[in-house]
Structure 1
Amino acid sequence: MRMRSSPFRYGLAAAMLLAVAPASAQTLQEALAQAYNNNPTLLAARAQLRAVDENVPQALAGWRPTVVIGGSYGATDVRNTGQGGVVSRIDRSPASVTGTVTQPIFRGGRTVAQTRQAENQVLAQRARLFATEQQILSDGVNAYIGVIQNAELLRLNINNEQVLGRQLQATNERFRVGEITRTDVAQAESRLAGARSSRTQAEGNLQIARATYQRVVGEPPGRLTNPQPLQVPVRSAGDAQAAAIANNPNVVAALFNAASARDAVDVQISTLLPQVSATAQAFRQDNSQLRGTRQTGGQATLNLNVPLYQGGAEHALVRQARQTAQQAISQVDEARRAVAQQAAQSWEQLRSARATVESVRSQIRAAEIALDGVQREAIVGSRTTLDVLNAEQELLNARTSLVNALSTVVTGSYNLAASVGRLTAQDLGLPVELYDMRQYYNAVRDRWVGIGDYSVAAVRR
């Protein structure tokens, strides 16, 4: 199921950041698509999955025969001195070649256990790749919103600086005609200096946000369109927690890690069980005793090895594997608790951010009315310059709070989607060719030979 952007009734497009961007402006979907295709952290995670895929053919190799060809060549010069000083000399060049084929028949269940373990390791790594994908897309959302948010905060600070500049000019005019005192001028000058400092800081924050965007997405931000929050398919904190426990990739990875750890116990137990194999050998020996001689032959054997006592290290490894499995099972519970807490937190943060938007919008309307009244009263002398400055600052603070709250609503909706395991390229419907986690696995699973790079098989579908 794809996630959808919901109509934002809190006025994001009207209140935030940039004017309506042209058709060529970059959307959040496009930015996330570029991060999905090019982010080096995500590309590295895909390569790591391909490396883990190779555990399966390594385990399956336990079913397959081994073929070894050995050979030797040398020179021998033997001199024998007999009675009467008679010397006999044997000069030969012995050579031999041997071919051996060994076929495992029963390895104590080791091959079966190692194959199950490798399969579970692959599935766990796929879940971790999903977790990395969600993290990169979440970083992309935060970077995208961060640029827009800081651009709007900078605009508010620039506007405030301009307003206070005009306020100082008007205050100086009233001071020259004797309507107010030098104190009023100093208060206006102080507020203007503070506004300049805030504007400088806002400029720095915007540059930091742009640098973060470039790191995550891969290119500097251009004109960005105002995004809408996601419509996450949960209706309560309880629903979010249940979905997180079932779908969060961290939980899925922990479950497969636990299964892999249980398989590791069987792998160690196999070292205590009998081993059966068959061996076939063919050989040829030239000049082994005398020059010009040759021996050829072959043999086939059925081999049985029954370990009785090997020092006790194998027993310790079994006990160790059992405890490691217990650790992995406990980590599943910890992962479930962690994602449930994260889902509940994301739900409450999103709910409170939406409520904050409504409250701050009411605050802004009241602050605008209050500022207009204070300015009118200041003209007739019933309010001081400080009262006007305070009213202007209160309105600025409210508008800043609205920008921050609107940003939190958008990022919070994506954070909630990530907590329930629904912040993937497929869920978001990004305009990309999805990376196929199974293609490289299918290309190498049953491959007997080959040392090439088969990563080209892991094309996007």
Structure 2
Amino acid sequence: MTRSHAPRHRRHHGPRSGGFLRNAVPASFLALVLATPAGAQTLTEALAQTYVNNPTLATARAQLRVVDENVPQALAGWRPTVTLSGSAGYAEGTLRSRATNARGERVGVTTDQERAIGTVAATVTQPLYRGGRTTAATRRAENQVLAQRARLLATEQQVFQDAVTAYVNVIRFQEEVRLNLNNAQVLQRQLDATNERFRVGEITRTDVAQAESRLAGARASRADSEGSLQNARAAFLRVIGLAPTRLTAPQPLRPAARSGQDAAQIAALNNPAVVAALFDESAGRDFIDVQLSSLLPQASLQAQAFRNDNQQSIGQRTIGESVTATLTVPLYQGGAEYSAVRQARQDATRLRQVVDDQRRQASSQAIQAWETLQSARATVDSVRSQIRAAEIALDGVQREAVVGSRTTLDVLNAEQELLNARVSLVRALANVVTASHSLAQAVGRLTARDLALPVPLYDQEAYYRAVRDRWAGLGDYSAPQPVRD
């Protein structure tokens, strides 16, 4: 291609392509940051929908209710057991005895006996001392419940983070599709015009090939972004439970810490994984006492009322009551109990190390989230500067092409660079939003309560209170409970 061809080519098409690219940034930027269409679906509404309907979160709540039942099971060790037993049967036999006849002689007498036998007994057994097992098991169950509550919060945060990512990705890929679609339309018009000029001999085949190549690349980018958009929609539906409609671009959360070190310190104390590990360690120490109880004396009191009919002979009935105190002192039981105690101690040591590991992980995640957020913000500022410079450069290249100092390829490259910068801005803005929520998750502040979602909050203690001191009952006590502040 000769340089003399470029001015005529750009005079014909420069204003169209340049006009689109200059107007594209304000449109995409406002769509991501400022626009709030009527009837739009906000991120807060999406998170509220997730909180109510997400199956992963519902599963975690059900698991908490499962663990809540450990407490009444442990408390059962204080309570009496009442049993009613009975038996009924038939017996027959021959009774041999000696008697004196009318002549005063001792003779043997054989008597056949047939009788119905039966017993009935009511027994009440009250544990008095179980070696401390009940107390230790109750403490362990309480710590297990508290650990599970922390895990529920961790699940809630992860589900919310997934929802935020899915929400932002839909907006991001919608913008990328729009940018790539518009770019392909502009390049198609350029190719059409280039073919017209090639037919009249004003430009060479090289110009046409360059325009065809750039259009093919634009179509490939559009197809890729459309596929990514469909994937994002599917993730949105899976996590949130609704198909995305008119989404409103969210604002990033206010940072939950003033610096990376501050975030690390908060995470080491407040991250749900750390909290769960602390309660797991406490439960592990309590389990040592549970195992030690098998080496200590056991005491119980038993009261019984009974009736026995025809046990030895026809017409015999025994009725009575008894109260028995039992003390059992284990001396040696094969050594398995000692092994169980040693095992529990080693497990408590392991759980202590888990606490340290979780603290380090939480601190590391918090620092990484902080740095990612700062990097994303800096990227937004840099890309905005890049867009301003690319707009000026494109305008200059177009003007230089008019006077013949630039070629068609130079203009196409400048347009592509500006398009790439605008796509980068869309991605950087999305990264800022997701990074701000990741930081909140790392420090334990990405919960429905912290986000002030407009939904009734799940009461973690409702089922626990309903079953803790319940002595009997097979009902479902997981019905919705009043929200606790």
State TM-score, norm by structure 1.
Answer: 0.94
Match of 2:59 in 1: 44
Q: Which residue, out of 392, 397, 402, partners 1:369?
A: 392
Q: 1:457/1:215 Cα in 2 relative to 1: closer, same or farther (>3 Å)?
A: closer
Rounded to whole Å, the distance in 2 between the matches of 1:341 and 1:424 is: 20
- Give the CA deviation at 1:12: 11
CA contact (8 A) 1:151 1:206 kept: yes
Q: 1:290/1:13 Cα in 2 relative to 1: closer, same or farther (>3 Å)?
A: farther
Matched, 1:227 2:253: no
CA contact (8 A) 1:274 1:305 kept: yes
- Give the CA deviation at 1:283: 0.5
CA contact (8 A) 2:93 2:114 kept: yes
* DSSP-derived class of the 2:248 partner: coil
Q: Which residue, out of 43, 68, 88, partners 1:28?
A: 43
Instruction: Name whichever of 449-458 and 131-140 sits farther off.
Output: 449-458
| Matched ranges for 1:125-144 at <5 A | 125-144=148-167
The C-alpha deviation readout for 1:375-401, integer Å capped at 9, x for no partner, is 222233221111111111101110011
Rounded to whole Å, the distance in 2 between the matches of 1:447 and 1:275 is: 25
Matched, 1:119 2:142: yes
Rounded to whole Å, the distance in 2 between the matches of 1:457 and 1:60 is: 25
Matched, 1:70 2:93: no
- Give the CA deviation at 1:458: 4.5
Q: 1:259/1:13 Cα in 2 relative to 1: closer, same or farther (>3 Å)?
A: farther
Q: Which residue, out of 342, 360, 365, partners 2:383?
A: 360
Match of 1:92 in 2: 115
CA contact (8 A) 1:15 1:403 kept: no
- Give the CA deviation at 1:13: 8.2
Matched, 1:266 2:309: no
- Give the CA deviation at 1:46: 0.3
The C-alpha deviation readout for 1:336-379, integer Å capped at 9, x for no partner, is 00010000000000001101101100101111111122122223
CA contact (8 A) 1:12 1:226 kept: no
- Give the CA deviation at 1:18: 9.1
CA contact (8 A) 2:174 2:229 kept: yes
Q: 1:12/1:434 Cα in 2 relative to 1: closer, same or farther (>3 Å)?
A: farther
Rounded to whole Å, the distance in 1 between the matches of 2:411 and 2:113 is: 119
Matched, 1:396 2:419: yes
Rounded to whole Å, the distance in 2 between the matches of 1:443 and 1:12 is: 55
Q: Which runs of 5+ in 2 are unaligned?
A: 1-24, 99-106
CA contact (8 A) 1:18 1:152 kept: no
Match of 1:213 in 2: 236
Rounded to whole Å, the distance in 1 between the matches of 2:192 and 2:78 is: 89
- Give the CA deviation at 1:184: 1.2
CA contact (8 A) 1:17 1:151 kept: no
Match of 2:452 in 1: 429
Rounded to whole Å, the distance in 1 between the matches of 2:325 and 2:108 is: 52
Rounded to whole Å, the distance in 1 between the matches of 2:404 and 2:198 is: 13
Q: Percent identity of the aligned residues? A: 64
CA contact (8 A) 2:254 2:436 kept: yes
Q: Which residue, out of 281, 285, 289, partners 2:312?
A: 289
Instruction: Name whichever of 48-57 and 227-236 sits farther off.
Output: 227-236
CA contact (8 A) 2:29 2:426 kept: no
- Give the length in aligned residue pairs: 452
Rounded to whole Å, the distance in 2 between the matches of 1:85 and 1:101 is: 47
The C-alpha deviation readout for 1:244-292, integer Å capped at 9, x for no partner, is 0111000000000000000011111111111111111111111222233
Instruction: Pick the structure with greater CA Rg.
Output: 2
Matched, 1:335 2:358: yes
In the alignment, residue 438 of structure 1 is paired with which amino acid?
Answer: E
Match of 1:4 in 2: none
Matched, 1:56 2:79: no
Rounded to whole Å, the distance in 2 between the matches of 1:160 and 1:364 is: 16
- Give the CA deviation at 1:128: 0.2
* DSSP-derived class of the 1:92 partner: strand
The C-alpha deviation readout for 1:165-213, integer Å capped at 9, x for no partner, is 1221232233234332101110110110111111111111111100100
* DSSP-derived class of the 2:478 partner: helix
Rounded to whole Å, the distance in 2 between the matches of 1:273 and 1:286 is: 40
The C-alpha deviation readout for 1:78-122, integer Å capped at 9, x for no partner, is 245789997632111101101111111111111110000000000
Match of 2:5 in 1: none
Rounded to whole Å, the distance in 2 between the matches of 1:13 and 1:120 is: 51
In the alignment, residue 396 of structure 1 is paired with which amino acid?
Answer: L
Rounded to whole Å, the distance in 2 between the matches of 1:168 and 1:12 is: 25
* DSSP-derived class of the 1:75 partner: strand
Q: Which residue, out of 127, 132, 140, partners 1:104?
A: 127
- Give the CA deviation at 1:19: 8.3
Rounded to whole Å, the distance in 2 between the matches of 1:309 and 1:247 is: 46
Q: Which runs of 5+ in 1 are unaligned?
A: 1-9
| Matched ranges for 1:413-452 at <5 A | 413-452=436-475
CA contact (8 A) 1:18 1:148 kept: no
Match of 1:191 in 2: 214
In the alignment, residue 63 of structure 2 is paired with which amino acid?
Answer: Q
In the alignment, residue 65 of structure 1 is paired with which amino acid?
Answer: P
Match of 1:453 in 2: 476
